[in-house]
Structure 1
Amino acid sequence: MNSLLAPVEAADDKLHEECGVFAVCAKKDSAPSVDPVHVVLGGLTALQHRGQESSGIILGGFEDPARIEVAKSAGLVASLIDSGDVLRLDREGATVALGHVRYSTTGGSGVENAQPLVAHTKKGAVALAHNGNLVNSQLLRELLEEGGSVFRTQSDSEVMLNLIARSLAKKSALEAVRDAVRTVQGSYALAVLADGKLIAARDKNGIRPLCVGELGEYWVVSSETCALDAIGAKFLRDVEPGEIIVADGEGIAGSNQEEKTETRTCSFEYIYFARPDSVIDGIGVYGARVRSGHQLFKEAPVKADLVTGVPDSGIPAAAGFSEASGIPYGMSLVKNRYVGRSFIAPNQDDRERRVALKHNALKEAVKGMRIVLIDDSIVRGTTMRSLVSKLKGAGATEVHIRIAAPPVAFPCYFGIDTPYREDLVSNKYDIEELARRVGADSLAFLSVEGLVQALSGTMGFCTGCFTGVYPMGAPKPGRED
């Protein structure tokens, strides 16, 4: 679903995740007291940070395998809840529900590309919700089209759906999903409805997060643990890299692919994407961000009067920097939370005007102060230049920028919406020149080694957007980068 041709949201000049997956399967003879639609909508609301352009929910597992109930909406989950489609869903007899929130990259943001996606086969309906990006999707799409497959969207998720549907004609649901994931290359966290079962899978490198929980009469699959907490579900475990989970009325079980797996969880999940109250592969996101602040002070100390974070994702690292340095922590910026995430500014002047709407400086907190401003990343530099200008305009005597991640100098091919490499400011300028361009008195980034140390994990991490070294072969970009 990712594409080098996709624009980056200009409002806050960040990288963006593209979607979140949430699904439930009822236990046998459980007579659930909680409506599965309400459970999934609650989980999707907790995953709203992973996608804001469309949302959807699908009900299946009825006695009639061809039957499926669908509700989708452009915009936030609240729009889906308010839609007449949700009210019209017939829940009676449904045992499986899939949900999805999407940030569009390939395929556009229209509701026609909203997930979950559905295919109808002679064995019944198949539905899929996908987070990630398939690097060989174009080749597979062409092969499938030559074989007679018809596509309704531009999403690579539909490639995966077609592969599963084709195998399902001759094989079991589990075997069909296994065949599909052996064929694709790239990142994926999947929730699939097939043959009345909920099947979940995670790519062999575990790039995108996926976990399993339990809520009374339901088995639950979610992109993040924060969604389990939101609905009161018990966390059971993470889906392992390369593992396929099958949940039905009889229970839940996992099996590994035959090919070798090597964990390379996306480091940006910890830096920015995931909610701070989530735990991914045993590592708490909030703690990782605080530790990155500790490490950042060790690598780039500075004399100052106040440590502050860019709201919201820069705040935990700023707290860690303050703890390690002994410099007091305080607010310096107020965020306008009603500036939407959906617009794309067409040019640099418009981007900067819109950035100005996002934050304002607290004059009484910063006047006469030497400020250490902590953020999670710099992509184009638009936001940071605006923030430094605001702080100095409010009376700050010095502004020292510290970034709790290494410089983003390479595109991501595995599920993050990134600009062309030529648009990444850390690819264009060295640190001294970048500091001058954003107006900072000094600028420093966390090292790759420091980031891995802050994550405190024995497993591996994908750091391709920092190093250009990826866990698997990356596709050639659509234009020279």
Structure 2
Amino acid sequence: MCGIVGVVSRAPVNQLIYDALLLLQHRGQDAAGIVTQEGRKFFMHKAKGMVRDVFRTRNMRALPGSVGLGQVRYPTAGNAASEEEAQPFYVNAPFGIVMVHNGNLTNARQLRAELADTDHRHTNTESDSEVLLNVLAHELARASSGAPLRSADVFAAVRAVHGRIKGSYAVIALIAGYGLLAFRDPFGIRPLCMGHGSDGSTMLASESVALEGTGHVLDRDIAPGEAVFVHTDGRVETQQCAEHAQLHPCIFEYVYLARPDSVMDGISVYQARLNMGETLAKRVISTVPPNEIDAIIPIPESSRPSAMQLAQLLGIPYREGFVKNRYVGRTFIMPGQGVRKKSVRQKLNAISSEFKGRRVLLVDDSIVRGTTSKEIVQMARDAGATKVYLASAAPPVRYPNVYGIDMPTRSELIAHGRTVEEIREWIGADALIYQDVQAMKQAVGKVNPQVQGFEASCFDGVYITGDISEAQVTALNEGRNRGGEDEADTSRLALPNTSDAPDA
């Protein structure tokens, strides 16, 4: 999961891209980068860290031009400690191309070999995004045959890219002197939308909140398999470049990843979470009688809409029992389990008066490893709760995700191979209630009936691209990102295997 943005305007875009990246910061906190173009020259600055730390006044002044793109990075493949793997990536031929990518290629290893042996292109990092850029560059060179680039060549290249790469990808690329190219994988797993500003600018971004927060109007989502080419003069051309495109967005975007004020593929994230709270209410009633619950308390932030709807339907007081330190990053995407575990109590503090002597139902958006859930349940008990129930607005996460969420090993998932009762016992809750998979899909899908289905592999084990086997998951795990602040970790979500405790 990353956040990407691209802009074509008549005015300087450096500040506009910076502001958009701030609005997408929740999608990646590892690194940030911006590229702008003036004339035919690219100007780039990228580094590890948050947007506000990466870009100082001197950096912004060094990014002139009215066309550009940017990314906030959450690494899922490659080396997290390497600043070279911060995006955007650049190749000088053909034409000069810079690119940002959100997603994860499932055949990156095969493609890397093809690039070296057949295409004779060199990749210098372990990032699958660099692989994707070189595949795109090769296909653009083939389509243009050394002549000036035409729109038809751009769309032909994207068609060829779709034929070669597999996995999830939302891409924005800047071709020197020609314009901005954006395209989305044939299943639309990762989000991408476009809009316009009153000054005639065109913006593409991962979430609608980046458009609206910068004064742009959301026009529409990029369709699965579609390519959009925005010329430097602002003209927009589009073409469907995939033969069998069908919309199956990642449902985890609606559960946790996206901001609640975003609308993605015609689905309000906020409404989707309200709906999940509604269906979760039925599960709660079947497990814990409402008269045995004194208060419903969300675990900030993503679970709030679901918890509010649940409380309203059950007629139980909704209370804010945890105060969040907004200056600590999202623990789901923190580098290193040691850093993540330490941060839970730094990130949340319990309000004792909301727990003391009460039977509380805590509501979370999802439970991935369980480590954070266990810590929070204990915090509630320490604050004086007599009973602590835990409800998850999402079903059990039982399977690896290979499409851009860095949890590819089963041992990292508390729900894999364990019953709900076993999970409840380890977390330490008095009751544990999960959402139902089908109910979740229906709750989100009814917001936009035109969505054909969802990529929900971490919940149901069905990999929409059809190319994922046990061996493939193992191979992908070998290439997952390494490094970070905790040197004992082998990946950004790795866990120590030193006890009988679930690796979660």
Normalised by the size of structure 2, how large is the TM-score?
0.85
2:242 equivalent to 1:244: no
1:233-255 deviation per Cα after TM superposition (whole angstroms, max 9, x unaligned)? 01000001111111112521221
1:445 to 434, 438, 458: 434
Match of 2:361 among 366, 372, 382: 372
Question: Alpha-carbon deviations, 1:239-288, whole Å to 9, x = none?
Answer: 01111111112521221124111211000000000001000111100111
**5 Å matches for 1:105-184?**
105-109=76-80, 110-121=82-93, 123-147=94-118, 148-170=120-142, 171=144, 172-184=153-165
Of the three residues 19, 22, 30, the one matched with 1:42 is 19
1:465 to 445, 458, 471: 458
Are 1:383 and 2:372 matched, yes or no?
A: yes
Q: Secondary structure at the match of 1:384?
A: helix
2:135 and 2:337 mapped to 1: Cα distance? 37
Give the Cα separation in 2 of the matches to 1:267 and 1:390: 30
Sequence identity, in percent? Answer: 38
In the alignment, the residues of structure 2 paired with residue 401 and residue 340 of structure 1 have an alpha-carbon distance, to the nearest angstrom, of 23
Q: CA deviation at 1:373?
A: 0.5
Shift in Å, 1:133: 0.7
Find 1:266's aligned residue among 250, 269, 278.
250
Cα distance in 2, alignment partners of residues 345 and 281 from structure 1: 33
Residue pairs, 1:22-421, within 5 angstroms: 22-26=5-9, 31-32=10-11, 35-60=12-37, 62-64=38-40, 67-82=41-56, 84-89=58-63, 91=64, 94-109=65-80, 110-121=82-93, 123-147=94-118, 148-170=120-142, 171=144, 172-194=153-175, 195-215=177-197, 216-248=199-231, 249-301=233-285, 302=288, 303=290, 304-340=293-329, 344-345=335-336, 352-421=341-410
Farther off after superposition, 283-292 or 148-157 = 148-157
Q: Which amino acid aligns with 1:101?
A: V
Secondary structure (helix, strand or coil) at the match of 1:427 reads coil
Name which of structure 1's ranges 281-290 and 453-462 shifts more when overlaid on structure 2.
453-462
3-state SS in 2 of match to 1:58: strand
Q: Kindly tell me the number of residue pairs found equivalent between the two proteins.
A: 449
Deviation at 1:423, TM superposition (A): 2.0
Amino acid across the alignment from 2:125: T
The letter of the residue matching 1:202 is R
Query: Which one scores higher on RCO, CA 8 angstroms, separation ≥ 6?
Result: 1
Greater shift, 106-115 or 363-372, is seen at 106-115
Q: Give unmatched runs, 5+ long, in structure 1.
A: 1-16
With over 3 angstroms needed to count, the CA separation of the structure-2 counterparts of 1:276 and 1:250, relative to structure 1, is closer
Q: Which amino acid in 2 is paired with 1:208?
A: R
> Take 2:313 and 2:181, find their aligned partners in 1: how far apart are those partners?
45
Q: Aligned partner of 1:114: which letter?
A: A
Unmatched tracts of structure 2, length 5 or more: 145-152, 479-502
Q: CA RMSD in A?
A: 1.9
- The counterpart of 1:477, out of the listed 474, 479, 484, is 474
> Which residue matches 1:5?
none
Partner of 1:288, secondary structure, is helix
Distance 1:107 1:420 in 2: 16
Distance in 1 (alpha carbons) for counterparts of 2:99 and 2:131:
11
Kept in 2, the 8 Å contact 1:52–1:75? The answer is: yes
Which one is further off, 454-463 or 442-451? 454-463
Larger mean CA deviation between 218-227 and 177-186 belongs to 177-186
Aligned counterparts of 1:306 and 1:337: Cα–Cα separation in 2: 24
CA contact (8 A) 1:408 1:466 kept: yes
CA deviations on 1:109-135 (whole Å, 9 max, x unpaired) are 3321111111001x4211111000111
CA distance in 2, matches of 1:152, 1:108: 12
